[in-house]
Amino acid sequence: MNRESTPQGHYHVPAEPVFAGGWEDRLAELRGDLAALDAMDATVLPLWRGRPLLAGPDALGWQGADSPLMVHARPERLFLGCHDGRARLAVDVSSWEPPGLDRAAMASFFDAQEYRHPALPADHRFTDLRGAMVRLDPADAALASTARALFNWHRTHRFCSACGHASNWAQAGWERQCPACGAKHFPRTDPVVIMLVVRGNRVLLGRSPGWPEGMYSALAGFVEPGESLEAAVRREVREETGVAVGAVRYVASQPWPWPSSLMLGFVAQAEGEVIALDDELEDARWITREEMVSVMAGQHPALRRPRRGAIAQFLLSEWLAGRLEG
């Protein structure tokens, strides 16, 4: 399990990027079989405005069909498949409105507030998945991130892109169909390259405007149509920092449901050191291996350590361990 129960000052790194694990079986062949789905003894994960329900310190709050949350649920049920011998569904309960809701906090970069429904036990609360992801079992983390990404896709793709008519939920949440023209629409996943640019004993990190103070990360960007992944790595690094890249090597991937990306992690060998920023980054700098050790320990005077669970943290930790040298 991905746990953070490490000694003080130590920085736990999962064995693989969070959300990259799977679960027992997606059972895709049953998504169109409504009778089979209705007959299943399923357990349900409620999500409220993108936040999964947690129970206790590090578990998802799976519910039964008689849960008091079901009065807030939309009629659609998302079928995730089967795990640990149980069918797994997810529902959107975003119609619930807690008293005194702070909408500004919800719209912030990271909302640390936890939202508790009065009819549930005290240890049940809706939590930003970014804050809980490394505490969850790998399969639970993958289930929650998949549900979050799919509900967001349905929320933002309610109309047919072929004719403009309102489309309908289909295939247990894995498709939308247009009743007017018959077009079928499938969940969107945007490929994003994220690259650890290295040169000798240093790594190149960047900072975007609006990030929390001291936050730097690996460079990243969306893959453009007609572009290979390696070409995207070289283009993004050149555009954002002016640094030319030579050898590019794939390392690992991570689904990232903010809102619906697939992060494709690479290590890239820089051919120069001079930085020329464009308007996307607020700053970029070369960081030595020794500096990065202090960053990861939370002891650097200016830089924050990367968020636990993000693939940038995974890439940096692999580099520090000597496993990524370009």
Phi, psi of 40 (to 5 degrees): -75, 145
Q: How confident is the model at residue 102 (pLDDT cuts 50, 70, 90)?
A: confident
Is the predicted pLDDT of residue 280 greater than 80, yes or no? Answer: yes
Is the predicted pLDDT of residue 107 greater than 70, yes or no? Answer: no
Return the structure tokens found at 237: 């690094």
CATH number of this structure's domain 190-320: 3.90.79.10
Q: How confident is the model at residue 108 (pLDDT cuts 50, 70, 90)?
A: low
Cβ-contact 294, 167 below 8 angstroms: no
Return the structure tokens found at 224: 């453009």
d(CA 220, CA 210): 16
Nearest to 133 by CA among 321, 318, 314, 316: 314
32-71: pLDDT as tens digits: 999 999 999 999 999 999 999 999 989 999 999 999 999 9
Q: Where are the domains of the chain?
A: 28-156, 158-188, 190-320
Nearest to 171 by CA among 296, 298, 76: 76
Cβ-contact 322, 316 below 8 angstroms: no
E-only strand ranges, 76-140? 78-83, 86-92, 124-126
Q: Is 110 exposed, middle or buried (0-12, 13-18, 19+ CB in 10 A)?
A: exposed
d(CA 266, CA 33): 40
